[in-house]
A = this chain, B = another copy of it.
Amino acid sequence: MDTNKKPIYPVEPWNITETEFRVENNYRNETTFALSNGYIGTRGTFEEAYDFDIDTGLEGNFINGFYESEEIRYGEANFGSPLHSQSLLNLPNAKKIRLYAGGEEFHIQKGTVSDYSRVLRMRDGILERSLVYTTPGGKQMRIQISRFVSFRWKNIMEIRYCVTPLNFSGELTFVTGIEGNVENHTRKTNPIVDYGPFGRRLEPTAVKADGDSIYYEAVTRNSRLTAACGCMHHLEGAPYEVSACKEELAVSLTYTAAAERGETVCLEKYICYSSDLDMDREELETYTGKMLRCAAAAGYAQAEKEQISYMNRYWEKADVVVKGDEALQQGIRFNLFHIMQSAGRDGRTGMGAKGLSGEGYEGHYFWDTEMYVFPVFVYTDPEIAAHLLDYRYGTLDKARARARILGHDKGALYPWRTINGEEASTYYPLGTAQYHINGDISYALCLYLDVTKDKEFFLEKGAEMLIEMARVWADVGSFAECKGGKYCICDVTGPDEYNVLVDNNFYTNLLARESLRAALKAVRYLREQEPERYESLAGKLDFAWEETDLWDKIIENMYFPYDEKRQVYPLDDGFMMRKPWDESKIPPEKRAWLYENYHPLFIMRHRMSKQADAILGMYLYSNLFTEEELKRNYDFYQEVTLHHSSLSTCIFGIVACEIGYYDEAYTYFSQSARMDLDDYHNNFYAGIHAANMAGTWQAVVNGFAGLRTNDGTLRFKPYLPEKWEGYQFCIGYQGSTLKVEIGRNGADFTLLEGKPAVFYVNGRACSIKEEGGTWHEEI
């Protein structure tokens, strides 16, 4: 990780601006300027749809949850290894618009470009490009293009493409279409994946043009899913003619306009993506037409206003203001913008570790969602959080089936990586063995229930999830006589992917216990407070009250590895026995890529850690540990952690704050905040690192401001980094929305709306009764 990079883009509080097109930056910038609404994802590629090579760009357009499958091959297959892959599929490109001035094509690499800018307006959720283009033949025109993916209608994205002839009058031609000859970049974006998808995976089933509309529908070869894509157009500013062209893998309309010098001609393109994951295949075309007519009727200008309005409301709740460091400010907003736009919002889809910004990790959903991104939404936009939980509830049956595959007679085990709810990990030591996914989802669910007090969710879905996950925890381990009768969980992999198939991973055991505790609390509550609900759920799950005896016993007797001499919690039972790690023996160019350069046995044999693991558990349940304990463990893990995962530094930073290691905390924070914006990992082309992006928010709110709710109360322990003037953010907790402003003069808490707020600052009880009321606290 190269953290000494200079800012790639100009430092601005709300915008990311590309001031010059350079082909060598293109692939990365396509991710920077990617737009999404959690359903449609579209990379920041140009309307011209240049035919770049595999190292230069990827025309990526995605629908959340839409995947292709390939048969997976193994040297030797294990029972329960997934046999069919799930890869987020690159869909037909409906952004495509090519422009010709009297037969000369607008091509950024051929003519002369000046006044170039491409701006991601994060505050508004709009991407704009503006330039003056002179054709080789001398025709000069101003081109202004803006686009957004709609937060109002999940299936819609819109483009406004405006051209003003500056030195000529004459024919302007827009060829606007849908290009179906698209492929994933598997070898580039997922080099260790053997099975694809390679080549074109979509077979067209309908290619149509009618008036101002075009329609393209196609089915995947193996997963047999159908994607539909339609466009409707509106041209203003000049008289024009339109003609259609249908090809085997493409459909387009050609708008030929008689433009006047100085007069702006605008083509508005309304785009609708949908798939038969949401409706019957037969309905897709009708639905597309309906959605496009709605969008066109509202018009681009109106839709743009609504987009801005939606975004402004989002920022009101979610913005983190940093006074005194504009670069970090920009980094934080970039991160918040990307995670906000990447989360599935329909309850049927989750959120990929790369959002919908690229093909990295095959578009899979991991624990990153629940443990890194989810807390941001819980406190700032709980509706999105609820939808993400809906997705997990919707795949509970598949998690039940998976638990049976793993030999559990009862309960549910969520997959380590997935799109459709089935396990997609092809290497179980780093996949299915990460049982902590059940603890992560349970943690997120409990956090949601605590912060929102959403009783309906608890009754309808949450309790069932908690019980089913708890059942697997109650079956996976056993009380070991050799460990004083304590409950031991063997052969799991914790978050740390350099220590696999270990016994008694501290993080796993901790989350297992707390997961069981939550389930126990849930069933006790139900039985006492909602007996009918209890009976009905117990009947559905064939749940016997006696099961809770075992849960109780496990909670009381969970085993944790402990090093008496150092008084720390080792990562797992065997961690202290492993060989000391000698980084000097590893050539620098191989250090961050251990699995690419070393045998797994070499890696797991050494006493080092890829990422926050035990420390993450201690952060999540910091109320269960003394500050001294946290310090000892932090010091210990600080030495053995390599931070080879983007999920690591933000967590270390938060714990560093908690124990007063503020300088280290600030260093960690700096490494997190602009990690993607400045491409520290040199792989931003493959997509965002959503977990770290969200970790930045946590680093400010849970780190510097010290927010904790893990004992069921709202607590702060504010700290102002020395380099900052101040910072502020908003959070919602149990019906109160608070603005928190921390500055040189202390911390100010304002109740923006909702119920009277009670909270603690550095342990002191505080309260605000009235909306608009403020509490000041010296720090």
Residues in chain A within 8 A of chain B (CB atoms): 72-82, 192-195, 405-407, 426-429, 432-433, 476-478, 480-483, 488, 490-491, 500-501, 503-504, 563, 565, 573-574, 576-580, 595-602, 604-605
Q: Which B-chain residue is minimally distant from A478 (CB atoms)?
A: B579
A501 to B429, CA, bound (A): 10
Whether A432 pairs with B599 at a CB distance below 8 angstroms is yes
- Contact pick for A429, options B429, B482, B573, B598, CB 8 Å: B429
Tell me, rounded to whole Å, the shortest Cβ–Cβ distance linking A372 to chain B.
23
Inter-subunit contact A79/B194 (CB<8 Å): no
Write 27 A-B pairs (CB below 8 A) sorted by A numbering.
Answer: A73-B75, A73-B194, A75-B82, A75-B427, A76-B193, A78-B595, A79-B599, A406-B599, A407-B605, A428-B600, A428-B601, A432-B599, A433-B601, A476-B605, A478-B579, A480-B576, A480-B577, A482-B565, A482-B576, A482-B577, A483-B577, A488-B577, A490-B578, A500-B501, A503-B573, A503-B574, A574-B574
What is the predominant secondary structure among interface residues of chain A facing chain B?
loop
Q: Which 6 A-B pairs have the closest CB atoms?
A: A75-B426, A407-B602, A482-B576, A80-B599, A478-B579, A480-B577
Q: What chain B residues lie within 8 Å of A478 (beta carbons)?
A: 577-580
Cα–Cα, bound, A601→B500 (Å)? 12
Q: Give CA–CA (A81, B62) in the complex, Å.
A: 34
Collect the chain B residues with CB atoms within 8 Å of residue A599's CB. Answer: 78-80, 405-407, 428, 432
Evaluate contact between A76 and B194: CB separation under 8 angstroms. yes
Q: State in angstroms the CA–CA spacing of A432 and B76 once bound together.
A: 14
A605, B476: Cα distance in complex, Å: 8
In the complex, A601→B79 CA distance in Å? 10
Find out whether the CB atom of A75 lies under 8 angstroms from the CB atom of B72. Answer: yes
State how many copies of this chain the complex holds: 2
Given A477-B579, A478-B579, A577-B488 in contact, is the A79-B426 Cβ separation under 8 Å?
Answer: no
Kindly report which residue of chain B lies nearest to residue A586, judged by CB atoms: B407
A429 to B491, CA, bound (A): 13
A480 / chain B contacts, CB cutoff of 8 Å: 576-578
Report the nearest B residue to A475, measured CB to CB: B579
Output the least CB separation between A191 and chain B (Å): 10
Additional A-B contacts beyond A407-B602, A503-B574 (10; CB < 8 A)? A72-B75, A74-B194, A77-B194, A79-B597, A428-B599, A428-B600, A477-B579, A490-B574, A490-B605, A501-B501
Question: Which of A427, A573, A602 is the most central at the interface, judged by chain B CB atoms within 10 Å of its CB?
Answer: A602
CB distance from A187 to the nearest CB of B (A): 13
Question: Chain B residues near A483 (CB, 8 Å)?
Answer: 577
A204 to B724, CA, bound (A): 79
Smallest Cβ distance from A91 to chain B, in angstroms?
A: 25
* Most central of A76, A483, A595 by chain B CB within 10 Å: A76
Q: Which residues of chain B come closer than 8 Å to A577, judged between CB atoms?
A: 478, 480, 482-483, 488, 490, 503-504, 573
